[in-house]
Amino acid sequence: MPYAGIDVGSLTAQAVLIEDGRTLMLKTIGVRLLSKSIRVKPNPLDSARTVMGQLLEEYDLGWDDITYCVSTGYGRDKVQGEGMAQDNVSEISCHGLGAFTLAPQVRTVIDIGGQDAKVIRVDERGDLVNFVMNDKCAAGTGRFLEVMSRTLGVSFEDLGGVALRARNKVELSSRCSIFAETEVLHYLQKGYDVADLAAGTCRSMADRVMALVRRVGWEKEVMMTGGVAKNVAVKSELERTLGVRMFAPHLDPQLMGAYGAAVFAQRAGGAL
């Protein structure tokens, strides 16, 4: 009988089922909006129902087959309130425990999602020791990269790869998403290379995240999670500044919240 985690975030929703401590089944649905679209607010309950429903169907399971479910992400209390989960845990704890479970050496987790960035410190049990989250500002979050990739005419997914081709990385002076976009537009008009600007964008992002890392401190066993962990340039800039090679999760880093929630479900259900 599997344990479940549902993560309904600001841009995407994920569901994870695990059994006997190993990842059994994963499902993610993209409610990510293309940058050209108008942003809408999806109902978190619909997202949870859809993502978990599809996952269960795929593996020929029903809701009743789930032993224990924990919800996380912005929609966590609503999902629990509707009876789809027995408990809800913050995404901060979930990312911490998820990363720790995959690599028990990990003590610091850098999670950069669509609308926020967090640095999480965990202990030798994977429990939260301390954390810091960005203030209400898009700079230093996935949203910043989304805006900048649109300005540069590069897909969000390709931005990191393009940045690695840079020969003369452009130093961006502004840390604000809006002003950084204006600055990049100015450079584009002057004929600067897109790769150099993409590298500058990723560097700027890493600088912003480093401010959070410095605030809460870090131990060298670091893992990066969240959608931005897929951006190779941001990851490498952070590794360079931290002077460490980060642990690579054997799991899509975007699924870490839901995975951590499922591990919490296992703990609550007495399996761990």
Supply the minimum distance, in Å, between the C-beta of residue 132 and another protein.
8
**Closer Cβ to another protein, 36 or 136, answer by number:** 136
Supply the minimum distance, in Å, between the C-beta of residue 135 and another protein.
5
Kindly list the residues in this chain that would bind another protein in the complex (CB under 8 A).
74, 87, 89-93, 116, 127-131, 133, 135-136, 264, 267-268
Query: Where do the DSSP E strands lie in 113-167?
Result: 117-122, 128-133
**Closer Cβ to another protein, 126 or 160, answer by number:** 126
**Closest listed residue to residue 102, CA positions, set 24, 22, 213:** 22
**Closer Cβ to another protein, 28 or 71, answer by number:** 71
Supply the minimum distance, in Å, between the C-beta of residue 272 and another protein.
13
Supply the minimum distance, in Å, between the C-beta of residue 42 and another protein.
15
Contact in structure between 270 and 25 (CB atoms under 8 Å): no
Contact in structure between 9 and 42 (CB atoms under 8 Å): no
Backbone angle region of 130, left / alpha / beta, with phi > 0 → left and psi within -120 to 50 → alpha = beta
**Closest listed residue to residue 68, CA positions, set 255, 264, 256:** 264
Distance from the first to the final alpha carbon of the chain: 14
What's the CA gap between 257 and 259, in Å, rounded? 5
**Closer Cβ to another protein, 104 or 217, answer by number:** 217
Supply the minimum distance, in Å, between the C-beta of residue 66 and another protein.
18
What's the CA gap between 61 and 266, in Å, rounded? 18
**Closer Cβ to another protein, 49 or 267, answer by number:** 267
